[in-house]
Amino acid sequence: MLNIVLFGPPGAGKGTQAVKLAEKYNLVHLSTGDIFRANIKNGTELGILAKSYMDKGHLVPDEVTIRMLESEVNKRPDAKGFIFDGFPRTIAQAEALDRFLTGRNLDINITLALEVNEEELTRRIILRGKESGRADDQNENIVRNRVKEYNSKTAPLKEFYKKQGKLKEVNGIGTIDEIFRQLCRQINANIT
């Protein structure tokens, strides 16, 4: 089984690359952001709760997010592996994921971090907001809060995975295909 964490700030291109990697390596793509948005669209209780945080640019509480992620993994017993996109976003989530996978004799094989500077991130988010209509990409205050949440709660995960010897950094600026090739190179070089 190949389990990949795709890591990076909002606007780094995680979603785009996760779809391509899932196809190439035959993995189930789990994006917590996409799952929350689907729940919002369907008006579920989880969606209503998640929306109250997402609308402010805050992270959804760990307990809710972890439970949801574990339930999504459990729905796919036949998966050849997973690509986690936008999860974990806190140390508590990363520890919960490790515990959850260990309990199934599984492991994260590699954490790929997309590196993009803040100026480029802002430019991409604004463009994505215009193209997709995503509310949290169109409001400057929300975007600023998301970046704040990333810097304070998510960025420390780099050290977490570095200590485990799993972190591989990839330049997230370039064409989609160039970045994809770099990600594949890291996977192929580090997974036996």
Is there binding between residue 9 and ligand AMP (CB under 6 A)? Answer: no
* Least gap, CB of 188 to ligand AMP (angstroms): 26
Site for ligand AMP in 32-51 (CB under 6 A): 32-33, 36
Determine if residue 88 is left, alpha or beta; phi over 0 gives left, psi from -120 to 50 gives alpha, anything else beta.
beta
**Residue 185 CB: number of other CB atoms within 10 A?**
12
Cα–Cα distance, 24 to 51 (Å, whole number): 32
Beta bridge partners of 2: 81
Known active-site residue 89: yes
In the complex, residue closest to ligand AMP by CB: 33
Choosing from 20, 37, 56, 134, the catalytic residue is 134
Residues 148-187 that bind ligand AMP (CB under 6 A): none
Based on the shown chain and the rule CB under 6 A, indicate whether residue 10 belongs to the binding site for ligand AMP. yes
Would strands 81-85 and 2-7 be described as parallel, antiparallel, or unpaired?
A: parallel
Interaction of residue 30 with ligand AMP, rule CB under 6 A: no
Task: Give the one residue of 13, 86, 129, 172 binding ligand AMP; rule: CB under 6 A.
Answer: 86
Query: Which lies closer to ligand AMP via its Cβ, residue 133 or residue 192?
Result: 133
- Taking the C-alpha atoms of residue 51 and residue 33, their distance in angstroms, rounded to an integer, is 11
14 flagged as catalytic: yes
> How many amino acids of this chain bind ligand AMP (CB under 6 A)?
16
Applying CB under 6 A, the span of 29-37, 121-129, 167-175, 184-192 interacting with ligand AMP comes to: 29-37
Among the listed residues 39, 67, 42, the one whose alpha carbon sits nearest the alpha carbon of residue 53: 39
Residue 99 annotated among the catalytic residues of the structure: no
Q: Which residue in 87, 111, 112, 143 binds ligand AMP (CB under 6 A)?
A: 87
Do residues 71 and 18 make contact, with C-beta atoms less than 8 angstroms apart? Answer: no
Q: Which C-beta is closer to ligand AMP: that of 31 or that of 186?
A: 31
C-alpha 110 chain-centroid distance: 13
Q: Rule CB under 6 A: is residue 53 a binding residue for ligand AMP?
A: yes
SS3 (DSSP) at 191: coil
25 contacts 56 by C-beta, under 8 angstroms: no
Active site residues: 14, 89, 124, 134, 146
